[in-house]
Amino acid sequence: MGEEVDLSNVTPVVNGGVKKKCGFASRSYSLGVDDLNWCLLQKWGAEFFGTMFLIIFCVGSANHRTLAGLDTFSPAYYISISIAFGIGIGGIVHICAGTSGGHVNPAVTLALLLDKRISLLVAIVYTVAQFAGGFAGAAILYGLGNMGELQNIAGVNAYDSKMIETGQAFFLEVFGTLFLLLTVLSTINEKRGHAPSYLQPLSIGLSILVMHIFLIPYTNCAINPVRGTVWNVVTGQADEHTLVFLFAPWVASFVAVPLHNIFFD
């Protein structure tokens, strides 16, 4: 007779095998000492280039000479930008997913840290990579796009204080980011049996597209601390309002994880 196996921590699956129980309670927080290896450098690069592409191509789409000449409240303007961000970020997530998971957003990284899916070290490395990639992308876009020649540089996150107050802008960004984070947490939920495919990036991209259609008329839609700050800084248009776009997405991270695990897990 062989050694008796304790099956108290496994559940059967359809194909006759066994797997460990999944869910928030089955995971644990980690400082990430075991993550300190060369693979972490590869993941840093994926997050750096992924976020750089996000700023160059997605923010850059708002600075196309034709679109920049349109009224920012024109449906043709914000629907075009929404499609560019949704499909563009979906593609970037698909490119980076196999290496780093394709976060390209510090709010996503914080949510996955709080959900015990990544270690503290990985979260710090990813966040540094994302901001570094964002500033690199903004500098490249500003230089190669001859943005200095434009009278009005588009793509900056801002809001009209005559239309909405700072508190309203803050919570609009919180709710927009919350929708994105709930989509991310749902697509990676093991209990739903989602096999890795193009559907996860597509779902994330579609949620971003919808949030841009909703938020562009109010805040120009950041739902990402990098997206909401680096272009403002590089173009010299950062002000106290920029703090809304820096902190609101992170607040959404703290709300999204318990909300998902209590009501949607």
Residue 118, beta-bridge partner list: none
Tracing tokens 């709080």 back to the chain, one arrives at 114
Rounded to 5 degrees, φ, ψ at 163 are -100, -45
**What is the reported pLDDT for 157?**
93
Structure token pair of residue 7: 């099956």
Q: What is the largest CA-CA distance in the chain?
A: 81
Rounded CA separation 69/217 (Å):
16
Structure token pair of residue 193: 């049996």
Specify whether the CB–CB gap between 234 and 228 falls below 8 A.
Answer: no
Tens of pLDDT, residue by residue over 21-48, are: 567 777 899 999 999 999 999 999 999 9
When comparing pLDDT for 35 and 70, which is higher?
Answer: 35
Rounded CA separation 155/26 (Å):
42
When comparing pLDDT for 235 and 16, which is higher?
Answer: 235
Tens of pLDDT, residue by residue over 153-179, are: 778 999 999 899 999 999 999 999 999
- Residue 15: pLDDT above 60? no
When comparing pLDDT for 191 and 14, which is higher?
Answer: 191
Specify whether the CB–CB gap between 204 and 90 falls below 8 A.
Answer: yes
Alpha helices in 63-105 (DSSP H): 65-68, 75-96
Tens of pLDDT, residue by residue over 114-154, are: 999 999 999 999 999 999 999 999 999 998 877 766 666 77
**What is the reported pLDDT for 265?**
86
Rounded CA separation 243/107 (Å):
14
Task: Report the predicted TM-score, pTM, of the whole model to 2 decimal places.
Answer: 0.89
